[in-house]
Amino acid sequence: MPKRDPYAPHRILVATADGQSALWRLALGVLLALAVTFGLGRSVFAIARLALDEQTYLSFTQTLSQADTPLTLLILLLSTGFLGIGTLVAAELLHRRSGVSLLGPLPLLKSQFLRVLVALVGLQLAITLLPPWPFASVLIPGLPLSTWLAFLPLTLVTLLLQTGAEELFFRGYLQSQLAARLHAPAIWMGVPSAFFAAAHYAPGLYGDSAMLVVLWAFLFGLAAADLTARSGSLGPAIALHFVNNFAAVAVTSMQGDMSALALYQLPFGPGDAEMLRAQLPIDLGALAVGWLAARLVLRA
């Protein structure tokens, strides 16, 4: 009896990439997507420069770079959506692919997203409420609850757009185009995950721990790639990414940059190498459990 291919559903995404799968097209597509992303980002600053006086503009750019207020952090996260627009442009111009072809069939995407989302939210609640609580006694209050709730709808929508845009590029576009040309999973899973990890390399922010963050991002990319290949849509990967980012950005964040929307803050910042090394096994464990939970949901 032939062994069942666990990645057979991936053909749903790959089939639409077969017609225009030359690697030179993919290389140009990646460059085009990044160029559109950069151009749209610069246009925001250009519009702000025209609309604001010099002092207000300088204040805006400074606070945006620091993302130390809820509004500026939301704007920074929303700007990641430009990557989604760039991806759609590249897919259409270089490969004649529609946005839906990158996402997977919409009914399937919606169903898988909601099922995995419910499972992962339940898992996060269990992890949060059940002992042990290693940081519970030292958590620092972040936003007041009333303010946090007021921003919650915008936070949810923004994080969904941010994570959706990243998954659209790395898993929906890059992974499926590579899989159409090169059939080895180590390549079409590993290369997008390596690019995803490289995008998280920030030695100025994480100091000596920058490569640990890269390692975590690479493993996250592999988990998202695996879920995408097993499901045939981006729904599970977006759900995994969304729940992870919501927990890290809006519930309990590290101090400093990217903490302006958090209800609580950890007693250390991204530059604390010792604490980050201690936190990494916890984060990897949570990622592994979330990935396994998503796989169980998809098999049900």
Using 70 as the pLDDT threshold, list the residues of the chain that sit under it: 1-2, 131-136
Q: Give a yes or no: residue 2 inside a domain.
A: no
The DSSP code for 2 is P
Residue 128: what pLDDT? Answer: 77
Number of domains in the chain: 1
240 within domain boundaries? yes
For the chain, what percent of residues have pLDDT higher than 70? 97
Tell me whether residue 144 is in a domain.
yes
For residue 280, being part of any structural domain is answered with yes
Residue 2: predicted pLDDT: 61
Does residue 3 form part of some domain? no
Residue 258 lies in a domain: yes
| pTM recorded for the entire structure | 0.94
Domain range enclosing 254: 8-299
1 in a structural domain: no
Q: What is the pLDDT of residue 272?
A: 87
Q: Is residue 134 part of a domain?
A: yes
Q: Is 96 left (phi over 0), alpha (psi -120 to 50) or beta?
A: left
150-158: list long-range contacts, CB under 8 Å, 24+ apart.
151/70, 151/74, 151/261, 152/250, 154/74, 155/74, 155/246, 155/249, 155/250, 155/261, 156/246, 158/74, 158/77, 158/78
